[in-house]
């Protein structure tokens, strides 16, 4: 049985609604009958600005908050701008979570990342692996920020008795992703590279690393379903993993993308580039035990995402950064 169904008419703030995750959450909540959804673009409300966030919460007083706003990027961006990743994310989280608690938000979901877990955590990674070993060096600044968010949720629960929770999604993909040639995550980056190679009739596509790291991928629409499910079925200080429970190698992923795109050239691996964590498969037994499972097959989801990418190219509106 649900802990408590959320009031669909109460004010519900989706922070980061123009991003990959926030956009999917907004769509799902609209479909689920929420009638008082509140959004702000970053130009309308800079979540790094404590006074602006305080004024927003004092005026809107949302009953429910989904904290999907974050500064995100792939290995290159994380390695190049670690100070920005830790500073921006810490400030956004502290401002939103503290203001929510001060102004009567009764339910809040903080979305973290699977990168919070140790680089060499036992696989599949259980939630209790948190803080048991060193992090992956290429994104440790971002990971520390997200770990701080998890601990802030726990502290607010202890001090104020609020029903705030945190969820750790695995690697995400889907409509609304960032396809920037340098700042994207691995999957949209592969889609763009293979698509452009196909158009240019390029003889080969270079993929970073050895191709051996194993990764798990969750469609963002599945994550959006999980967000509402958890808000109504989970109330615990411990973070909870959200994933599919299966992974594949980067080489296998690249080959799948090439097949979907229709690129028939060679796939070359640049082994001078970093691999990142060797494997990052989440243990989702806790979530499965609550009755939730991912529904979208990876190949089906990739075909949908590629079709979306092509439609955005046709409109001249592919997200560049």
Residue by residue, DSSP assigns 197-266 as: HHHHT-SEEEEES-S--EE-EEEHHHHHHHHHHHHHH---SS-EEES-S--EEHHHHHHHHHHHHT--SE
* 189 annotated ligand binder: no
* 278 annotated ligand binder: no
What six digits make up the tokens of 292? 């939730």
What six digits make up the tokens of 118? 């140790």
Q: Rounded distance, CA 216 to CA 76, Å?
A: 20
* 146 annotated ligand binder: yes
- Asked if 81 is an active-site residue, the reply is no
* 21 annotated ligand binder: yes
* 207 annotated ligand binder: no
* 112 annotated ligand binder: yes
* 308 annotated ligand binder: no
Asked whether 261 and 203 are in contact (CB, 8 A), the reply is no
The C-alpha R_g of the chain, in whole angstroms, comes to 19
Cβ neighbour number for residue 179 with a 10 Å cutoff: 23
* 319 annotated ligand binder: no
* 290 annotated ligand binder: no
* 18 annotated ligand binder: yes
Q: Rounded distance, CA 175 to CA 305, Å?
A: 5
* 91 annotated ligand binder: no
Given 81, 117, 142, 234, the catalytic residue: 142
Cβ neighbour number for residue 73 with a 10 Å cutoff: 22
- Residues making up the binding site for NADP(+): 16-22, 111-114, 146, 169-172, 185
Residues assigned a catalytic role: 142
- Residues making up the binding site for substrate: 193, 208, 215, 275
- Residues making up the binding site: 16-22, 111-114, 146, 169-172, 185, 193, 208, 215, 275
């Amino acid at each position: 049985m649900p802990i408590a169904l959320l009031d669909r008419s109460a004010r519900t703030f989706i922070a980061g609604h123009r991003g990959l995750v926030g956009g999917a959450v907004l769509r799902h909540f609209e479909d689920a009958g929420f009638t008082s959804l509140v959004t702000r673009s970053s130009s309308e409300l800079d979540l790094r600005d404590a006074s602006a966030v305080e004024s927003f919460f004092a005026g809107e007083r949302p009953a429910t908050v989904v904290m999907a706003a974050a500064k995100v990027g792939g290995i290159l961006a994380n390695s190049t701008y670690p100070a920005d990743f830790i500073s921006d994310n810490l400030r956004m989280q502290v401002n939103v979570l503290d203001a929510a608690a001060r102004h009567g938000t009764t339910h809040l979901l903080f979305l973290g990342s699977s990168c919070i877990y140790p680089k060499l955590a036992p696989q599949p990674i259980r939630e209790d692996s948190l803080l048991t070993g060193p992090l992956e060096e290429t994104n440790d600044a971002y990971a520390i920020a997200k770990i701080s968010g998890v601990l802030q949720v726990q502290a607010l629960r202890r001090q104020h008795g609020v029903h705030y929770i945190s969820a750790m999604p695995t690697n995400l993909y889907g409509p609304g992703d960032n396809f920037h040639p340098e700042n994207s995550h691995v999957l949209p980056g592969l889609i763009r590279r293979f698509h452009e190679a196909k158009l240019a009739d390029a003889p080969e596509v270079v993929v970073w690393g050895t191709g051996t790291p194993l990764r798990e991928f969750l469609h963002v629409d599945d994550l959006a379903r999980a967000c509402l499910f958890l808000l109504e079925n989970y109330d615990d200080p411990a973070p909870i993993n959200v994933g599919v429970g299966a992974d594949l190698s980067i080489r296998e992923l690249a080959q799948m993308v090439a097949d979907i795109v229709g690129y028939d050239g060679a796939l070359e691996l640049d082994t001078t580039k970093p691999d990142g964590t060797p494997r990052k498969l989440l243990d989702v037994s806790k979530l499965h035990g609550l009755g939730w499972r991912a529904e979208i097959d990876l190949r089906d989801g990739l075909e949908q995402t590629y079709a979306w990418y092509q439609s955005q190219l046709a409109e001249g509106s592919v997200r560049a950064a």
